[in-house]
Amino acid sequence: AGGVDTTAVPLQFALFELGRNPEVQERVRQQVKASWAQAGGDPQKALQGAPLLKGTIKEILRLYPVGTTVQRYPIKDIVLQNYHIPAGTMVQACLYPMGRSAEVFEEPQRFDPGRWDREEGQRGEGTSFRYLAFGFGARQCVG
């Protein structure tokens, strides 16, 4: 069931958003075609040369996350935004509202796969956990 949910549904939303944004669709198509031609038939090289395709997948999962939340139980007391959370308390990140929040993403309702290319080199406050579609750390989905 997990393979179906995590593949078919995002692909349907990708077709939906690319259909609504033909200019993005054409840019992704051209980049994939050029990358494939330069890769000489090597799929790994072709994917590395198509960052807009990777950004499209991240953007789809930002807007339409397969899992709606990520939960963790801290092993020691922590403070998040001046709020004390005792060890063993479930902490939950809600991915759907986070992906559509203006506090997290500029123009959050806009489908913009290029936003991920711009953020690749950025580090610092607010950039570390913007993409949590498959969790993070040791418990990240291996798929």
Write out the binding residues for heme. 141
* Residue whose structure tokens are 């406050």: 125
Instruction: Using alpha carbons, select from 29, 26, 107 the residue that is nearest to residue 62.
Output: 107
- What residue numbers does the annotated binding site cover? 141
Cβ contact 39:45 at 8 Å: yes
Name the packing angle between helices 51-63 and 2-20 (round to 10°): 110
Task: Report the distance separating Cα 114 and Cα 134, nearest Å.
Answer: 20
